[in-house]
Amino acid sequence: MRPKKNEVSNCLANSSAQGNSGPQNPATVHTTDSTSPAVPKAISLGRHAASCRVCSHPQRLAIEQDFIDWRSPAHIAHEYGLPNRSSLYRHSHALNLFTRRRHNLRAALEHVIERIDDVHLSGGAVVSAIQTLAKINARGEWVERDERLYLDQLFDRMEPSEYVAYAQNGTLPRWFQEAIAVAGARVANGQGSDDE
């Protein structure tokens, strides 16, 4: 059964409203051909929506959000009565949901950590997942934390009156002394090195 023209328009409108990035022409999405990863092929969203079970599904937005949140495609297909997970993958490729899913790596790691009681994971795997989660920011980007203390940055934060007090009698502001004490405690506890 073919959806009506307004259903196709709704699919396209919802896709752009949800922040799916794509080319300037809203009726075309460029994906990568599986046989040639370097050569993008165009997908007509109108043609896709005409035969897509996800686009015409009443809970389409929930299906897409579950996919972006790293829920199992097989479970999503079963829960929403889709024929199989392939229909979800086709829809996700057509609307470029994989990019949004990759930016949501935190959700996948959170699922691993939450299921610690249900799945047999080694302690190392759980610790690794937690460490990885701590290094991924809200945009899905890997961020290396820098725990070093740079005195130049502390001096740059000083007010002119604090500079005068330091120049006249060598007195550092209280916040400056606390920052140095915290850094020293980390080194003493083996959390950093004193040569940094």
pLDDT digits (tens, 9 = 90+) for 16-52: 444 444 333 444 444 444 444 444 566 788 888 888 9
Q: List the end-to-end C-alpha distance of the chain, in Å, as a whole number.
A: 67
CA angle 138, 139, 144 (to 5 degrees): 75
Q: Which residues contact 67 (CB under 8 A, 6 or more apart)?
A: 73, 76, 88, 92, 97, 101
Task: Decide if pLDDT at 96 tops 60.
Answer: yes
Among 79-88, 89-98, 174-183, name the one with the lowest average pLDDT. 174-183
Helix, strand, coil % over all residues of the chain, rounded to 5: 55, 10, 35
Estimate the crossing angle of helix 123-134 against helix 105-114, to 10 degrees.
150
Whole-model pTM: value is 0.48
How would residue 185 be classed by pLDDT, with cut points 50, 70 and 90?
low
Question: Which stretch of 57-61, 131-135, 171-175 has the lowest confidence by average pLDDT?
Answer: 131-135
Q: Give the HSE-up count for residue 14: Cα atoms under 13 Å, Cβ half-sphere.
A: 22
